Copies of this chain bind each other. A is one copy, B any other.
Amino acid sequence: MSAHYLDKIKAFQQQNENRYRIVISCPDQPGIVAAVSEFLYKQQANIMESNQYTTDPDGGSFFLRIEFECRQDGDTQQELEQGFRQIADHFRMEWQLVRVRHLKKLALFVSKELHCLQEILWEYQSGNLMADLAVIVSNHEDARELAEAYDIPFHHIPANKDIRQQAERQQLELLEQYDIDTIILARYMQILTPVFLENYKNKIINIHHSFLPAFIGAKPYERAFERGVKLIGATSHYVTSDLDEGPIIEQDIHRVNHKDKAEDLKRVGRLVERSVLMRAIKWHVDDRVIVYGNKTIVF
């Protein structure tokens, strides 16, 4: 594979030299937008996109995502953060300021089925996924060739329920070594322990091959076939310690009929999985997804 896509990433970073995102969660009260927009105005920031949501106007939670461009050159992130702290403290905000050119570092965990990995690599190569695909981790060797074709480090770490702890130790070391922000379980098919999860809260994205909460657990296509459903689905969600119960980011479905065997459901389902996971990843790396309780807001 040629590396033209690295040029696309560089071009993106140059275009977004002075662009930032601020993502805020706090108790709702009057004056938040006024304070934040006043602050940005004084910084001579140009607001490119702004989204907000209040769960309940009477004492609910407030969520805000603003993408803006600063006029000044250079690295103003620190100044922005210092200036904003006062507002943040006043409104008791959880907040994050992200410089757009600082791409998120992703680790891709896969197993033997590679269609989701391939979709990610492809969108990456097409310049549609602005992230740093830092490492591919698998408990099988199947993805090695693909990883090498894209010049992405590949690590084979055997994993199954008997050696789970040992495998996770190795994985955690790797994640630290590569300074990973977000883990994508692109059909990884192994359960992760709470110890592993606590280090990456709302930072691990899974694709489940059913329309959750239908067919939680193993072999969803086989069970969908047995049940005789007329639509096949896929769900992308953040991973929590409750299997398949984490906050849902995106779902989609495809129509099937009585002629489709379990094998056909799998084949059709793979297309749904690819597009659902891909949308979830893009929204995540663009900081469009906010978790509250066990749900997501997607701006």
The residues of A with any CB-CB pair to B shorter than 8 Å are 1-2, 30-31, 33-34, 37-38, 40-41, 44-54, 57, 69, 115, 118, 122, 126, 128, 145, 149, 211-215, 227-231, 233, 247-253, 257-259, 267, 271, 275, 293-298
Contacts and interface: CB of A to CB of B under 8 A. Distances in A.
Given A227-B248, A251-B231, A48 B38 contact: no
Contacts of A250: 230
A54 B51 CA distance: 12
B57 A45 contact: no
8 contacts: A34-B34, A34-B40, A37-B38, A211-B233, A212-B227, A227-B295, A230-B249, A257-B298
B271 A252 contact: no
Given A258-B297, A298-B257, A33 B53 contact: no
Nearest to A216: B214
Main secondary structure of the interface of A (DSSP, over half): mixed
B48 A30 contact: no
Contact of A31 (B30, B41, B49, B298): B41
Given A258-B298, A295-B228, A298-B258, A54 B48 contact: yes
B229 A248 contact: yes
Given A1-B149, A50-B52, A211-B233, 6 more contacts: A49-B259, A115-B122, A128-B267, A214-B214, A228-B247, A228-B296
Given A115-B126, A213-B227, A46 B57 contact: yes
B258 A296 contact: yes
Contact of A34 (B37, B214, B258): B37
Contacts of A275: 271
Nearest to A275: B271
A228 B48 contact: no
Given A30-B46, A31-B41, A57-B69, A229 B251 contact: yes
A173 B34 CA distance: 46
A253 B253 CA distance: 8
Nearest to A276: B230
A209 to B, nearest CB: 14
Given A211-B214, A296-B228, A45 B33 contact: no
A293 B226 CA distance: 10
A120 to B, nearest CB: 13
Contacts of A46: 30, 57
Nearest to A270: B126
A249 B229 CA distance: 8
A115 B274 CA distance: 15
